[in-house]
Amino acid sequence: MTTELRRLRNYIDGEFRDAADGRTTEVVNPVTGEAYASAPLSAAADVDAAMDAAKAAFPAWRDLIPAERQKVLLKIADAFEERAEELIAVESENTGKPLGLTRTEEIPPMVDQIRFFAGAARLLEGRSAGEYMEGLTSIVRREPIGVCAQVAPWNYPMMMAVWKFAPALAAGNTVVLKPSDTTPASTVLMAEIIGGVLAELGHPKGVFNVVCGDRDTGRLMVEHPVPAMASITGSVRAGMQVAESASKDLKRVHLELGGKAPVVVFEDTDLAKAVEDISTAGFFNAGQDCTAATRVLVHESIHDEFVTALAKAAADTKTGAPDDDDVLYGPLNNANQLAQVAGFIDRLPAHAKVEAGGERVGDKGYFYAPTVVSGLKQDDEIIQKEVFGPVITVQSFSSEEQAIEYANGVEYALASSVWTKNHARAMRLSKALDFGCVWINTHIPLVAEMPHGGFKKSGYGKDLSAYGFEDYTRVKHVMTSLEG
């Protein structure tokens, strides 16, 4: 006897709809490895409908005064708070994340970030008006871009959706958002909540739309002639494809891609505290975080002691079911990701040593043990490529110069951290590290007021902060004669 799958639907122009051609894809619970829902496998007709709805809604939404858009976002934040337990339950089934940590580590930041952008809508700063040519006054207008095509990832389905729609809506744009094909459930619930707020306040139905589907659906969105901007959080490969597709009609592009964060630990750090914080920041969310503390560089004088302590911390870290309050993280998101993580360990060179973990946990679902690998060289695959799993690598360095060389010696440039009691050294490293964020004696905290984004193959554009808000605006110069 088969269990009937829950039916997820697209949200287009204020209505829940199946894919026009009726195609669906199964959504799998990563805790069990079994399908629990079906979602639309959207094609061109569905993307056309969503883009048409967003385009039709744009003029009215654009022309609202910022205070009115703020009201909408604040009400959305309140509604997310009120329905937090529903969001937590769906997200946990979506991803396998621990219920308790989703409640404390995701819902509050999401709500805070929406409220931040609600305020940012009313504080769009620019250069003052002035005369730069005799008899003429110049002013600068900040305007919304238009329809935004947005693609969210599977590692933080709810939070990354917030990072995309909140600044876009606050700036006066309309949105067509596609969740990952493995984690659409929470985004569909968010669409229900957001759509309800828009309807209650009398705003156009097409301001916010959700289209479910696969990579081809995302490609259709990016290539569509309506959007003025394409935004994606995903892999380097996906980002390059989006940039290439968007270049054909010169869409603006916002890319938040992979990471390989160096964690540089000097001999004067508080070793016990560093190990505790780094292990948490490396294993949290099963290491499925572009900023995860998974590439540790340790001064040679404390290397062995650090590795021993980190291996013990890994052994003491628990993965398991969402309702177990003792677990730090749940399963990897999908079967392909489990195979990818296991593949890195299977291909380790002979000089590498697995200090802890290195194997799948259990016989169902996609759980992987907290893993520590030492004895690695700078050009090893596991150092150069993003694992995106609960695997922390450890390298040794002998000097500050070598630490900087190793840290910067990858193609990613999103986040990094420095662990030292020497203030001058911390300042030197913060300047030398070629990453969009440098944490000092901590790793992974983010706040709405500060920008998040990287360089090199980690992409371009900023999430969060006023910088992230401005990314969803365009600049217009207006000049007027004083003699008219």
Catalytic site residue from 223, 256, 386, 470: 256
CA atoms of 98 and 228, how far apart (whole Å): 38
Residue 290 falls in the annotated catalytic set: yes
CA atoms of 10 and 8, how far apart (whole Å): 7
Angle at 440 between CA 372 and CA 117, to 5 degrees: 105
Catalytic site residue from 290, 355, 437, 470: 290
**Parallel, antiparallel, or unpaired: how do β-strands 262-265 and 295-299 relate?**
parallel
Range list of H helices, 179-214? 185-200
List, in order, residues 6 or more apart from 352 with CB less than 8 Å away: 373, 374, 375, 376, 380, 382
Q: Which two tokens stand for residue 443?
A: 């790793």
DSSP string, 330-387: ---SSHHHHHHHHHHHHT--TT-EEEE--SB-SSSS--B--EEEES--TTSHHHHS--
Which among 296, 266, 276, 292 has a CA at the least distance from the CA of 393?
296
Q: Please say whether the beta carbons of 193 and 92 come within 8 A.
A: no
CA atoms of 473 and 484, how far apart (whole Å): 30
CA atoms of 409 and 264, how far apart (whole Å): 13
Half-sphere exposure of 204 (CA within 13 A, CB side): 23
Q: Please say whether the beta carbons of 306 and 339 come within 8 A.
A: no
CA atoms of 53 and 366, how far apart (whole Å): 38
Residue 148 falls in the annotated catalytic set: no
In this structure, what is the dihedral angle of CA atoms 61, 65, 66, 67, given to the nearest 10 degrees?
Answer: -120
- Phi/psi of residue 73, each to 5°? -65, -40
Q: Which two tokens stand for residue 383?
A: 């150092």
Residue 460 per-residue DSSP state:
E
How far from chain centre, in Å, is Cα 187? 14
Residues involved in catalysis: 256, 290
